[in-house]
Structure 1
Amino acid sequence: MFIEQHSISMGHRQEITAAVAALAPQRVLDFGGGFSTLARLLAAALPEAEISICEPYPPRHGIESCKPFTNIRFVPNLTSQSVDVLVSTDVLEHVTDPLALLAAMVDTVRPGGHLLIANCFYPVIACHLPCTFHLRYRFDDFCQALGLELLGPCEGSHATIYLRSSVVEPDWPGLRAMEHRSQRLFAWQEWKAKHLSPWGQRARLAVAQPLHYPRKFRNVIRLSR
């Protein structure tokens, strides 16, 4: 309900809707659709498509707000290879085993279909679980291991677009080993991002614009006089 009063959040969902509509899918699943904000945007943009919301316990407000849309339905579970496009916004950071859920999401999409996934693996609110934060750096690696091809960001939103380019049987021992490595490396990657990466960015800027820092230093001297 907050999302519908927040212009930035709505802008993200409108851009996601436009990206999905450009794919011209017949079957779309909004996984964890909550109050159905995104599903209603999708239903309006794709009136001939079947829009499903996977939500085991849909809120009453969400059910009521979907009644004007005959192409929206709620489903309690994921079904293998049942949709052309799956959309998931800000779900995986709330679950204790995001890798298992990601694999189930991938399995729901037909080969050649697309996933648009938005994550927030940061401690911005209390219900974002710290056990998921390591995925901030390695999420795309797990997607690739599950048969997804990274197509790039969904412009104007916080989502990323993936193509299910191949059907891969999850190698769970290998995936769990990847997960453990990712968890162990998280502290180092956080330290690197905080202390080393800024210097790398400064070095690249200095190479690209050799006069940037001399001019900046000159301006500081002038202001201090």
Structure 2
Amino acid sequence: DPFTISYELQLFTVCRAAGERVILSGQGSDEYFGGCASSVNEDDGVYEAVRAWGIERMMKVSMPCELSIASHFMKKLCYPYLDEEVVRMVGEVDPRELRPSSLEDRKAVLKTIASDLGFPMLAHRTKKASQYGSNTTELIRGQARKKGLRYNRYIAGIYESLGLRDANLLRDSAVDVRMDPILLHDAEEILSQNGMTHSEAVAAFYRKMVKDGNLRFLE
């Protein structure tokens, strides 16, 4: 599963190199604390749908893979954000306090807690997903280019060849977009700085269009 590998390869490296037996994972922070870029400035219904999708994929795809990696290296993974008490407390928080109104506003509750605990540098550090910071996504893009395919189509083809069409949950539908290469490069820079993928950006655009029923927000 190349898509999963793109962000689990980092855990593999950590487990292999770490001398400590226990490793902390940040899984669940995006889903429970409004960290998903695709839920920015959305209504309660969309926010809950995005969160539910993220939790489902995390439980069915990401965590089994992570636990398998940790077990291979005889490590124990701990998920602080998935602790029953944490999840219970999050459930009591008004969704409006968690739902981000902008990319910078994601995980606002966690940022406030970090600042209150004396770690403002963590609260204000720009988020960059591991698959982009480590360039593993670029490696996959390179393989796709060699085959003359776009990234999403390349990933979808691998899933289909393995009979895993449903394993990627809601990523089955691919949209090919042609645009000026300079515009694409500039957009990639902005998306990377904000920890957002092309798919998330396109999905956010589609959701806004469907929600409004028009394209006036582009005016």
Q: Check whether TM > 0.5.
A: no
> Structure 1 or 2: larger strand share?
1
Q: What TM-score results when the alignment is normalised by the length of structure 2?
A: 0.28
> Structure 1 or 2: larger helix share?
2
| Structure number, greater radius of gyration | 1
**Relative CO higher for 1 or 2, CA cutoff 8 Å, sep ≥ 6?**
2
Q: What TM-score results when the alignment is normalised by the length of structure 1?
A: 0.28
